[in-house]
Chain A
Amino acid sequence: MSLMSFFNRRTSAPVARERLQILLAHERGIVGGKPDLVAQLREEIIAVVRRHVMVEHQNVQVKMNRDADISTLEIEVEIPAPVPLGAR
């Protein structure tokens, strides 16, 4: 074990503290003003997409990362190709 890692090993409690602060801020709704804003955005964005195109569950991939300064919400929707006119 290097000297650096020996000293780094002392830092686990601050890591725990920071992880909890971020998590609880999201769960209590301090971030975004309501409980789990990012999850609510996810639901509503998908509902809007569904209003216009029929998408199956498996064609929607959602990734979230709740962080202290910035949270990210990635929604990837595979929209089926329109049926060509001649094929109707």
Chain B
Amino acid sequence: MAKVLVVTSGKGGVGKTTSSAALGAALAHGGDKVVVIDFDVGLRNLDLVMGAERRVVFDLINVVQGDAKLSQALIRDKRLENLSLLPASQTRDKDALTEEGVARVLGELREKFDWIVCDSPAGIERGATMAMRHADVAVVVTNPEVSSVRDSDRIIGLLDSKTEKAENGDRIEKHLLLTRYDPARAERGEMLKVDDVLEILSIPLIGIIPESEEVLRASNMGSPVTLNNPASAPGRAYFDAARRLKGETVELTIPSDKKSLLGKLFGRRAA
């Protein structure tokens, strides 16, 4: 049974695209058929983060408007054959996303894939509401920082009122993904702790992604961090989160990057 998962946050720059790519690749690595869709019409970037920017032919809007078939627009990942990308249009605006069109495309995707990961744009406008509209599950990406937590609270409110599930009286499954977390700073009282954020937002935690150089390195390379360096701290944290999404019970830890002896000698590695 296919699941539509929206990765959302309200605030920009907290790691929605990074998380969509990393979770999508982690789910696909486990054998599931996965498609990640970029809903950021006009400002697409998921293609770049996944390293498919040179191969974009058709996009979500072409499919929504019937100018291209889904099979023509899907880009198959070169590393994982059961991972696909549906890019956003770079030249159109978000009004081209019609509710019926998006519903039809998601319906077609549900027949072909196990997971449909919708990478939401920032904000609460049409792109964001279309990305969450038909979701079964939401991952709310939050940084341990005041403006991000506030915007997440706002998005949680929209998930509970503006989604198809909510309107039908169902509850949408919501999970918190805490990103860019620095346990040492939290311990020193310089950063909101996991429990602070959980207490304020009161939705269950799906994972904690530690602040790490590996995230920038992966985006430089055009590869989800779970594929670029699966053994890295964020790589392991995303793999754990993906297993929890599949219903497995995984002990909650905050992985850390152990520096190699060479790394320690040279102080830091260039990102």
Q: Which residues of A contact B (CB under 8 A)?
A: 1, 6, 9-10, 12-13, 15-16, 19, 22-23, 27, 39, 42, 57-58, 60-67
Is B221 an interface residue, CB under 8 A from the partner? yes
Cβ A19 vs Cβ B57 within 8 A: no
Known: A13-B271, A27-B90. A66 touches B54 (CB 8 A): yes
CB-defined contacts of A27 to chain B, threshold 8 Å: 90
CB-defined contacts of A66 to chain B, threshold 8 Å: 53-54
Cβ B68 vs Cβ A57 within 8 A: yes
Q: A45: shortest Cβ distance to chain B, in Å? A: 13
26 A–B contacts from the bound complex (CB under 8 Å): A1-B260, A12-B216, A12-B221, A12-B270, A12-B271, A13-B220, A13-B270, A13-B271, A15-B221, A15-B222, A19-B53, A22-B54, A23-B53, A23-B54, A57-B68, A57-B69, A57-B72, A58-B71, A58-B72, A60-B72, A63-B55, A64-B55, A64-B56, A64-B57, A65-B54, A67-B54
Interface-central residue, A9, A64, A66, by most chain B CB under 10 Å? A9
Is B256 an interface residue, CB under 8 A from the partner? no
In the bound complex, what is the Cα–Cα distance between A81 and B71 (angstroms)? 23
Q: Identify the closest chain B residue to A62 (Cβ).
A: B57
Known: A64-B54, A64-B56, A65-B55. A19 touches B222 (CB 8 A): yes
List residues 235-256 of chain B with CB under 8 A from any CB of chain A: none
Q: A22: shortest Cβ distance to chain B, in Å? A: 7
- Give the number of chain B interface residues (Cβ < 8 Å): 24
Closest CB pairs A-B (n = 10)? A16-B220, A12-B220, A66-B54, A12-B217, A62-B57, A57-B69, A10-B270, A58-B69, A23-B53, A64-B57
Q: A55: shortest Cβ distance to chain B, in Å? A: 12
In the bound complex, what is the Cα–Cα distance between A61 and B112 (angstroms)? 19
Q: B223: shortest Cβ distance to chain A, in Å? A: 10
Q: A38: shortest Cβ distance to chain B, in Å? A: 9
Is B269 an interface residue, CB under 8 A from the partner? yes
List residues 144-200 of chain B with CB under 8 A from any CB of chain A: none
Q: B104: shortest Cβ distance to chain A, in Å? A: 15
Cβ B68 vs Cβ A19 within 8 A: no
CB-defined contacts of A67 to chain B, threshold 8 Å: 54
Q: A49: shortest Cβ distance to chain B, in Å? A: 15
Is B262 an interface residue, CB under 8 A from the partner? yes
Is B203 an interface residue, CB under 8 A from the partner? no
Is B212 an interface residue, CB under 8 A from the partner? no
